[in-house]
């Protein structure tokens, strides 16, 4: 197989032009090109007002591969294609009595369980929330009727935190073993659109993700696994530094010496339990800020120029970073083109925002977190849980500022920059449900964060015209940008540094940020766990 990189074609090129371009690039006859697939397709919008090009990476087969590679020996854009296939690390022996446990059924737990099931280990998944269907009803009850179900919401339940999301599936992790391809491949097998395999910034959107997750659960069950909802793990059974099992809230005990802990960043009661049990945990940096909303059309215009609204490009995104004079980094986070801002709390009396969209990304507003990086040394010194406590304090304050009924505090950008309360909206209507309460956001975050965001917004306005328009809306607050803790693990065995048999994983343990990287981490821990079980069964 040969890989061609940097093959560019105009945005509106007819489909058959791609084949012609490959043949021309390799200077071969059409008959010599046996097959090809698009490995990646991105676009180059730097000349947005003259021409936008698609840039392809193509994997292909030709009649005489050695001869073609020899002719292009000095061309770094024509190379042998890497093997991106996935090969399991082993197969469980028949009759294995121990079953691994997977705590949490977000993307990390989902992929850990799927891989373990595919290798024949028959995992038992324990998820504190409900299945996708019941969970969707509970989540909408907060957005529509201000009724929160603390165990079933945007953060907790089948599919994890990524279920009600933009379903962006890209990440900047190093992935030498192409695990991200395995994640995409499994999503496609479960019903996600094929294009996620090759577009440069794939996304699924909430409704599609819901069906995909349910299909993957069915596969785990068909392979002999079990998925138990409303099964919160509240304690660990430990014997002399070895994990022996877990205790559920119901009092039931499940024994296993191999447990994946894929909690997500919002399982604060479980972090506290782990800390009490003496499992090594440390505080880690995260970010705090607001969600900002603009008309999507304005973002499209700024990013895509005359190509704004082009069906091949869809709703435009952005990524912004600014270094403020007070030393703080301000950046855009989890940008959702054509989406909505959502109420993302899992706890009574707290308000926290995030963003989601559907596959079509056709809501009127673009939204993104505008957040400031914070760290334990400077901003929340104390014990391992000091970051959790800071998040709780800020989210409670946001609840009060929003009127103590799950509405969120909000302010217009112009007023925020000038330091005056907002009283009425301009053209931009905020999408947050159950609603926002206009006022002054300055008291909602520490002064250094307010100062840095005030300085950053006009600077962002220089990169995206209109970004600092006076009637853009800021909704508070964004605190759950990543986990405030790391549950430390050995980098070889992926087990907790002081509790054998515990495999901390995914976002909550501080080893992933986002759906794709959480899925990849799930694959890694499944492999590490499988190797350990195989070794114990004498099958190495």
Q: Spell out a b/e string for 443-466, using b for 16 or more CB atoms within 10 Å of the CB, else e.
A: ebbeebbbbbbbbbbebbbeebee
Residue range at the interface with ligand FAD (CB under 6 A); choices 88-96, 258-266, 376-384, 391-399: 258-266
- x-or-dash pattern for ligand FAD, window 315-354, by CB under 6 A? -------------------x-------x-x---------x
Please select the residue that binds ligand FAD; options are 56, 121, 143, 156, rule is CB under 6 A.
Answer: 156
Q: Count interface residues toward ligand FAD (CB under 6 A).
A: 44
- x-or-dash pattern for ligand FAD, window 44-83, by CB under 6 A? ----------------------------------------
- The span from the CA of 316 to the CA of 298, in Å, is 10
**Residue 496 binds to ligand FAD (criterion: CB under 6 A):** no
Q: H-type helices in 146-205, by residue range?
A: 179-189
Please select the residue that binds ligand FAD; options are 92, 119, 126, 281, rule is CB under 6 A.
Answer: 126
Residue range at the interface with ligand FAD (CB under 6 A); choices 63-71, 149-157, 219-227, 316-324: 149-157
Residue with smaller CB distance to ligand FAD, 28 or 216: 216
Residues with Cβ within 8 Å of residue 360, at least 6 apart in sequence:
205, 338
Beta strand 101-103 pairing with 259-261: parallel
Residue range at the interface with ligand FAD (CB under 6 A); choices 53-61, 103-111, 180-188, 322-330: 103-111
- The span from the CA of 368 to the CA of 453, in Å, is 13
- The span from the CA of 375 to the CA of 492, in Å, is 27
Residue with smaller CB distance to ligand FAD, 360 or 421: 360
* CA nearest neighbour of 477 among 321, 372, 380, 322: 372
Rounded to 10 deg, the angle between the 515-536 and 179-189 helix axes is 100
Residue with smaller CB distance to ligand FAD, 432 or 467: 432
Residue with smaller CB distance to ligand FAD, 154 or 477: 154
**Residue 232 binds to ligand FAD (criterion: CB under 6 A):** yes
Task: State which H helix or E strand residue 261 sits in.
Answer: strand 259-261
Q: Are the C-beta atoms of 229 and 122 separated by less than 8 Å?
A: no
> Could you tell me the two tokens for 139?
């989540």
Task: State which H helix or E strand residue 140 sits in.
Answer: helix 132-145
CB of 217 to ligand FAD, least distance (A): 12
3-state DSSP assignment of residue 456: helix
**Residue 526 binds to ligand FAD (criterion: CB under 6 A):** no
- x-or-dash pattern for ligand FAD, window 164-203, by CB under 6 A? xxxxx-----------------------------------
Q: Are the C-beta atoms of 204 and 192 separated by less than 8 Å?
A: yes
Q: Are the C-beta atoms of 342 and 464 separated by less than 8 Å?
A: no
**Residue 413 binds to ligand FAD (criterion: CB under 6 A):** no
Furthest-apart CA atoms within the chain: distance in Å: 72
Which residues of the chain form contacts with ligand FAD (CB under 6 A)? 103-109, 126-129, 154, 156-157, 160-162, 164-168, 232-233, 262-264, 267, 270, 334, 342, 344, 354-356, 506-508, 512-516, 518
């Amino acid at each position: 197989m040969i890989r061609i990189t940097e093959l560019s074609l105009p945005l509106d090129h007819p489909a058959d032009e791609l084949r012609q371009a490959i043949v021309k690039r390799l200077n071969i006859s059409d008959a010599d090109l046996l097959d090809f697939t698009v490995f990646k397709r991105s676009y180059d919008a730097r000349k947005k007002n003259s021409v936008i090009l698609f840039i392809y990476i193509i994997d292909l087969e030709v009649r005489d591969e050695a001869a073609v590679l020899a002719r292009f020996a000095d061309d770094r854009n024509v190379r042998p294609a890497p093997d991106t296939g996935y090969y399991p690390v082993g197969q469980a022996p028949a009759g294995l009595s121990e079953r691994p446990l997977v705590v949490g059924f977000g993307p990390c737990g989902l992929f850990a369980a799927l891989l373990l099931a595919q290798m024949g280990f028959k995992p038992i998944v324990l998820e504190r929330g409900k299945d996708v269907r019941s969970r969707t009803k509970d989540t909408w009850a907060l957005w529509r009727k201000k009724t929160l179900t603390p165990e079933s919401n945007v953060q907790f339940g089948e599919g994890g935190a990524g279920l009600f999301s933009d379903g962006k599936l890209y990440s900047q992790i190093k992935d030498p073993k192409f695990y991200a391809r395995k994640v995409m491949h499994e999503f496609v097998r479960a019903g996600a659109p094929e294009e996620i395999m090759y577009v440069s910034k794939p996304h699924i959107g909430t409704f599609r993700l819901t069906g995909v997750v349910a299909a993957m659960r069915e596969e785990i069950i068909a392979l002999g696994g079990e998925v138990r909802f409303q099964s919160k793990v509240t304690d660990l059974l430990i014997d002399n530094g070895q994990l022996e099992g877990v205790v559920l809230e119901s009092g039931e005990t499940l024994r296993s010496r191999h447990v994946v802990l894929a909690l997500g960043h919002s399982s604060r009661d479980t972090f506290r339990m782990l800390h009490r049990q003496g499992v090594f945990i440390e505080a880690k940096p995260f970010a705090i800020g607001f969600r900002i909303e603009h008309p999507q059309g304005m973002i499209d215009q700024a990013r895509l120029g005359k190509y704004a609204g082009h069906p091949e490009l869809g709703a435009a995104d952005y990524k912004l970073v600014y270094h403020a004079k007070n030393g703080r980094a301000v950046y855009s986070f989890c940008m959702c083109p054509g989406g909505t801002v959502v109420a993302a709390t899992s706890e009574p009396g707290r308000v926290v925002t995030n963003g989601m969209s559907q596959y079509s990304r056709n809501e009127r507003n673009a939204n993104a977190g505008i957040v400031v990086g914070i760290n334990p040394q400077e901003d929340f010194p104390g014990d391992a849980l000091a970051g959790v406590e800071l998040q709780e304090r800020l989210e409670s304050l946001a609840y009060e500022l929003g009127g103590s009924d799950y509405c969120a505090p909000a302010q217009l950008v112009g007023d925020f920059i000038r330091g005056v309360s907002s009283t009425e909206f301009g053209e931009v209507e905020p999408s947050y449900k159950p609603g926002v309460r206009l006022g002054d956001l300055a008291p909602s975050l520490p002064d250094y964060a307010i100062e840095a965001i005030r300085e950053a917004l006009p600077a962002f306005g220089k990169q995206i015209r209109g970004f600092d328009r006076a009637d853009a809306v800021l909704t508070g607050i964004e605190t759950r940008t990543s986990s405030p803790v790391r549950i430390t693990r050995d980098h070889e065995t992926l087990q907790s540094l002081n509790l054998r048999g515990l495999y901390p994983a995914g976002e909550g343990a501080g080893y992933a940020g986002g759906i794709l990287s959480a899925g990849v981490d799930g694959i890694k821990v499944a492999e590490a766990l499988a190797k350990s079980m195989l070794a114990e069964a004498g099958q190495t």
